[in-house]
Amino acid sequence: MNGLPFPFAGETLAALPSGALHWPARRLLCVSDLHLGKSERMARRGGPMLPPYEARETLARLDADIRATAPDTVICLGDSFDDLAAMRALEDAAREMLTTLMAGRRWIWIEGNHDAGPVDLGGTHLEALTDGPLTFCHIATDTAQGEVSGHYHPKARLPLRGRTLTRPCFLVDAARLILPAYGTYTGGLYSHAEPLASLMAPEAKALLLAAPPLAVPMPR
């Protein structure tokens, strides 16, 4: 799978090159900020009419990760849809892909700031989920302990000789883990920008997406 194993809250987790988080001991896969339907929402609001293929592209990558890890549980960590109207407007092909992915496993939608409210696609809908030492929620809290969140779309810059490598990344310290955005049409917030810089402890690491991901001290 070409993932990067790392310790967190006493468990061994793996950062996958796609930006998904794998917890092998629990047969659990977690992805954050899919932003499905983003292109539809932008067009609806009179913005640019972007190539309308981002939902199926995001789901195709999720499909590959699910095939590789065969999880019993999938957690979507919030902002799974760009908004609820975008969810309802999801093209049939993407909806079918999603239904196929959900079949036969526990599927949990954590609510995000973009997609608060009920989801009519099946699965369990929660504000947060605690499983053993880990708590899954959308936005990092002040009192984190074994907290896995998303929301900020972290990315980081690694200076190389004469050029830089910029990649989405996981951010991890002793108390919290922040996932990169999994959605195709998503940008990022630099790890050195606020609030990420103060949110993460001084010894935090960034795991830059690559095959396998690259662990570096979190750039500040």
- What backbone phi and psi angles, to 5 degrees, belong to 68? -75, -30
34 C-beta neighbours (distance < 10 Å), count: 29
Distance CA 152, CA 167 (A): 14
Distance CA 209, CA 166 (A): 9
Q: Using the rule CB under 8 A, is 43 a contact of another protein?
A: yes
Q: Contacting another protein (CB under 8 A), which of 18, 32, 80, 184?
A: 184
Q: Using the rule CB under 8 A, is 10 a contact of another protein?
A: no
Distance CA 178, CA 40 (A): 27
Between 42 and 129, CB nearer to another protein: 42
Distance CA 115, CA 86 (A): 9
Paired with 46 in beta bridges are: none
Helix, strand, coil shares of the chain, percent, nearest 5, are 20, 30, 45
Minimum distance from CB of 106 to another protein (Å)? 29
Between 56 and 176, CB nearer to another protein: 56
Question: What are the tokens at 197?
Answer: 């810089």
Contact pattern from residue 153 through residue 172 relative to another protein, giving x for each residue in contact according to CB under 8 A and a dash for the rest: x---xxxxxxxxxx------
Minimum distance from CB of 165 to another protein (Å)? 7
Minimum distance from CB of 57 to another protein (Å)? 6
Minimum distance from CB of 182 to another protein (Å)? 13
Residues that bind another protein (CB under 8 A): 39-40, 43-44, 46-54, 56-57, 91, 152-153, 157-166, 181, 184-190, 193, 203, 205, 210, 214-217
